Amino acid sequence: MRAHGFLVLGLLSILYLVQAQRTSILCYTGGGDSPYYVRMARSLARDFDLVMTPAELSHDGYFEDCPVSLEPRLLAPKNRYCWHPIGAPIVFAVPYALAGRLGILIFTALLAAGTVALLWVYLARSASDPAAALAATVTIGLSAPFLALAVNEYTEMPALLLQVAASLVLLGIPDLAGKPGLAGELRGRLLLLGLVLAALPWFHLRYAFISVALAVAASVRAPAGERRVMAWLAAPLALSVIGIYAWGAHATGTLSLFAPFLTSGSNRPGSVTIATLVTNGLWGHLTDQQGGLLVHAPLLALAVLGFAGMPALFAREVRINLGVSVPSFLLVASYYNWSGHWGVACRFLTPLLPLIGLGLTRAWRRIFDRLPGSLLPLIPFATLNGWVSYCWIAHPPLALSLENPNVNLDSVFVYLFRRSGVSLLSSFPRFIYTPSIRDYGLALSLLALTMAWLVLLHRVLERQRWQLALVVAVSWLLIHFEAAESTRPMRDPLSEDARWLSLDHRYLLTYPRFFDLVAAQSILQKKPDKAIRALERLIEVKPDHLDAYTPLVDLLAARRPRRAEEVCEQGIRVATARIGVDSNALYYRALLRFLAGRFKEARDDLEEYLRKPGFREREARTLLGRLSPTRRRTER
């Protein structure tokens, strides 16, 4: 079984590495905070500090010519960046120094590979069932949130690796406690556990809940007469606390009890409320169309089947993981941005994965014992789970989202709609914004529908009469879809509010960023006709998207010259209208005039633009050099 396990996990590792390479080559960028982690890693790799120079302030962590604005509130005195925790940038700094952003992506893919390996060992030892543990590990490794986080610059993957490693170390402590001959090994294991737990809060302060819970579990497992040995665990934790506060004082210039909290963007007044937990977070983490676990990874619901009739050792691990993951989960479910907003779907649920893995291990054992009859009820779970995972693997922009990763599942269903015309998005609730009664009704219906399918599977596994359960589940499914479709709100398809609030994904086809990404991917794949269609659709739905005109004119010039001239003139008119609104409008007008052969006008535009340049200054100076009379005569 060990050989089979290493083979399967090796294939998973190759998948993660290939995804990292594709993500880098195709220039797919993560959203939200990930550029800031890369920016911090670059600063550490180049200058060994977090002081942001003017050059670093004007560029993001991905491309030298792709800026991200840095708000003044994100900087401490002396332009020191400390808004995000420093743990991830520290571990990302070396990979960035070696290979840039690709190095970080390869590093996170390797972290993911190490995590699935440790998770398999942990589940196999907890349940004494390597085969079922392998099935559970693969289920998690090919589902949200794990799959998308394997190639993203967030803190969740390194933190999950540390959490699983700590759980694995903790698993062997009872076998060493109370045995004098193994006292040295016990101290070493406790020291290792302390170092792992001490590192967790440096990635984000919310992981302190996990550290404290695992430390308490270790102290409970230590024998009553050997409490002094716990000093080997407590010492690294104490040093970590001192270090965190020292870093907060150094970064912010303020020696305050709350200084470390200033280094974590999610910890600020009003960001954590019980109201959010009750009305949005709990519901959304389970059923939301953009961040719900049941929607993105329904196979993980099988864990419920594994929590009945557990053996003693297994039940103990379940209780420990409940104490470890539930407090952390309740905290993030109380965030004002409980879904992670600009992160990949379900990323805040990663601390629950070891607990889910324990349930899945037992569930897969029950399923294996009743093959092949138990496979039929799995089809509804596996179909949606497999479809979402396939979309993420085949199309990385869907995993990293269109622009705001809150539309992860939206983009998956856009893809589904464009290929088959199937409409499913309206069947899932939305809790990202203010939910309606309809959303709560859909959420309750989805939860009940999931339980109906689990009851059906349970009856099949127990060889009981399952026909009635099948009728109930199928009937409920049809009623749910019909009720969701008949109550779907309809809004103006070109409205930005409709873009976020409408549940009809046809409207998502008006979202400009979707066509922007399709065009970029098509150009990289050398599919000019597809790129032309995407760019023409982009300037149709968003005429002031000035970035689209130049590549479209270049693509059309060799195929449809007259159309290229029309697009060029249209772009010049739009850029002229945007002067005074867009700081780079003059640059784009100059570029289009250059393509149209109007060199003097282009040079005048560039000279005017460079008097008060925007972030295209470098490109503007390069183009102005090409427009000098001597240079143009030489080129001719």
DSSP state letters, 240-274: HHHHHHHHHHHHHS---TTGGGGG-TT-STTSB-H
Percent helix, strand and coil across the chain, each to the nearest 5: 75, 0, 25
Q: What pLDDT is stored for residue 158 in this prediction?
A: 94
For residues 343 and 291, what is the distance between their CA atoms, to the nearest angstrom? Answer: 10
Q: Are 354 and 321 in contact (CB under 8 A)?
A: yes
Kindly state whether residue 541 falls inside one of the protein's structural domains: yes
How large is the average pLDDT for residues 129-137?
92
Assess whether pLDDT exceeds 80 at residue 1. Answer: no
Per DSSP, the residues of 52-104 read --HHHHTS-SS-TT------GGGEEGGGEE-SS-SHHHHHHHHHHHHHHHHHH
DSSP codes, 540-565: HH-TT-GGGHHHHHHHHHTT-HHHHH
Interatomic CA distance for residues 426 and 623, integer angstroms: 48
Contact 167, 214 (CB under 8 A): yes
More confident residue, 158 or 393: 158
Alpha helices in 334-373 (DSSP H): 353-368
Q: Are 542 and 558 in contact (CB under 8 A)?
A: no
> What's the N-to-C CA distance of the chain in angstroms?
70
Query: Is pLDDT above 80 for 515?
Result: no
Whether 306 maps to a domain, the answer reads no
* pLDDT value for 12: 86
- Tell me the residue type at 565: E
Q: How much is the pLDDT for 420? A: 44
| pLDDT recorded at residue 113 | 92
Q: What is the pLDDT of residue 342?
A: 61
pLDDT above 50 for 266? no
Within-domain flag for 579: yes
Contact 589, 576 (CB under 8 A): yes
pLDDT value for 360: 93
Residue 96 near residue 45 (C-beta atoms within 8 A): yes
82 exposed, middle or buried (CB, 10 Å; 0-12, 13-18, 19+)? buried
Q: 142: which 2 tokens? A: 């090919």
What is the rounded distance in angstroms from the CA atom of residue 124 to the CA atom of residue 361? 8
Answer with the residue of higher pLDDT: 421 or 601: 601
* pLDDT score of 379 more than 60: yes
The answer to whether position 94 is within a domain reads no
**Confidence tier at 632 by pLDDT (50, 70, 90):** very low
Contact 385, 379 (CB under 8 A): no
C-alpha 337: how far from its chain's center?
14
Can you spell out the DSSP letters for 269-327? TTSB-HHHIIIIIHHHHHH-TTT-HHHH-GGGGGGGGGGSS--HHHHHHHHHHHHHHHH
Query: Is residue 359 classed as helix, strand or coil in its secondary structure?
Result: helix
Average of per-residue pLDDT across 282-295: 84
Residues 247 and 241: their CA atoms lie apart, in Å, by: 10
Looking at the predicted structure, is the pLDDT value of residue 135 above 90? yes
pTM for the structure as a whole:
0.75
Tokens 């799995």 found at: 378
292 pLDDT higher than 80: yes
Peptide bond into 377 cis (omega under 30): no
Mean pLDDT calculated for residue range 166-194: 76
- Closest by CA position to 38, among listed 80, 77, 78, 95: 95
In a domain, 552, yes or no: yes
- Evaluate if residue 121 carries a pLDDT over 60: yes
pLDDT for position 165: 94
**Residues with Cβ within 8 Å of residue 539, at least 6 apart in sequence:** 545, 548, 549, 552, 567, 570, 571
Tokens found for residue 5: 């396990």
User: Looking at the predicted structure, is the pLDDT value of residue 331 above 90?
Assistant: no
In a domain, 571, yes or no: yes
Q: State the amino acid at position 597 in one-letter form.
A: G
Burial bucket for residue 153 (CB in 10 Å: 0-12, 13-18, 19+): buried
- What does each C-alpha distance from 160 to 233, 350, 581 come to in angstroms? 20, 7, 45
Query: Whose CA is closest to 394, among 105, 13, 22?
Result: 22
Alpha-carbon span 307 to 293, nearest angstrom: 18
HEC profile of 122-190 = HHHHHHCCHHHHHHHHHHHHCCCCHHHHCCCCCCHHHHHHHHHHHHHHHHCHHHHCCCHHHHHHHHHHH
State both tokens at 111.
Answer: 């972290």
In a domain, 602, yes or no: yes
Reported as type and span, the H/E element at residue 20 is helix 2-25
The string of pLDDT tens digits covering residues 7-28 is: 888 888 888 888 877 776 655 5
Nearest to 218 by CA among 170, 175, 183, 264: 170
**For residue 530, what are the domain limits?**
511-635
Q: Each residue of 591-628: pLDDT tens digit?
A: 999 988 888 899 888 888 888 777 778 788 888 887 77
- The domain total for the chain is 1
CATH number assigned to the domain comprising residue 522: 1.25.40.10
Which pLDDT band holds residue 413 (cuts at 50, 70, 90)?
very low
Does residue 352 or residue 39 have the better pLDDT?
A: 352
pLDDT at 513 over 90: no
**What are the Cα distances from residue 452, in Å, to 206, 458, 470, 472, 475?**
35, 10, 8, 7, 10
Please report, as a single letter, which amino acid is at residue 420.
S
Q: Is the pLDDT of residue 68 over 60?
A: no
The answer to whether 72 touches 100, Cβ cutoff 8 Å, is no
240 vs 520, more confident: 240
Question: Quick check: is 338 in a domain?
Answer: no
Measured at the CA of 47, the angle between CA 44 and CA 50, to 5 degrees, comes to 50
Q: Which pLDDT belongs to residue 118?
A: 94
